[in-house]
Amino acid sequence: MPDTIEEHEPEPAGEAGEVATEGRLNDIAPGKGAKKAPKRRGRGIAAGGGKTAGRGHKGQRSRSGGSMRPGFEGGQLPLQKRIPAFGFRSRIGQTTAEVRTSELAAAASPDGVVDLAALKAAGVVRKNATRARVFLSGTVSAAVAVRGLAVSAGARAAIEAAGGRVDSGAPESRDAAKGQPQAGEAPASRERSAG
C-alpha cells in the first residue's frame, strides 16, 4: 500500500462552468430554513397553544365556523358604506363610440359617406354602438361626408379643410339639446303663457 494519497482530478465542467453531478429526484429538498413547522395547537398547556388553542374563552370567534366576512363590523355601518359616494357609470356612454379623424377615410363607403353603418362595417366601432362622436386626432386624408354623427369643432374644421363636409343631419351638441345658446347665438326669450 503506497504511503501517499492519490489525488483525484475534478470532473470536467459543463458549458456553464458547473461541475457535472448526477441528481436524483429523491435528493431534492428545500433549503435550510425555507420550511417552518406549523404550530401544533391543542397539545397541552406546556406547548403554549393548548386548551383554547389561542382562540380565547367563548365568543363567536372561538367557535368552529365563527369567522366573519371581511369588512363586517358587528352590524355597525361599515366603512365602505360610511364614506361618501362619488361618480357614476353612464349608460349612454356604454353604447357611444369615439372615432378619430384619422379613421374616417378607411371607414368611408365607396361614395365617400361616413355614417354609423359604415363605421360598423369597417370595424371601427362596436356592433352594439348606437351613436358615435368624431373628435380631432390625426389628419383627414380624404374628402368624406359625415352623416348622422356628432362632430367636435376641431374635427369639423379638419374635415372641411380636407374638402369634406358635415351634413346638417348630425345630432345636436349637448348645449343645443338642453336649449342653451350656442357660441355667437342670442339667447332665446322665454314667453310665459297667460294663466
Q: Domains in the chain, start-ordered, CATH in brackets?
A: 93-176 (3.100.10.10)
- pLDDT tens, residue by residue, 58-71: 999 999 999 999 99
Mean pLDDT within 119-136: 93
Helix or strand or coil: residue 176?
A: helix
Q: What is the CA radius of gyration of the chain?
A: 38
Share the mean pLDDT of the chain. Answer: 82
The Cα 165–Cα 161 span in angstroms is: 9
Give the confidence band of 183 by pLDDT, cuts at 50, 70, 90: very low
106 Cβ contact partners less than 8 Å away, ≥ 6 residues apart: 122, 124
Q: Which residues lie across from 98 on neighbouring strands?
A: 133
Which ranges constitute the DSSP H helices of 108-172? 116-122, 153-161
Instruction: Report the share of the chain in percent with pLDDT over 70.
Output: 75
Give the confidence band of 46 by pLDDT, cuts at 50, 70, 90: confident
Give me the pLDDT at residue 23, please.
Answer: 83
Residue 175 predicted with pLDDT over 50? no
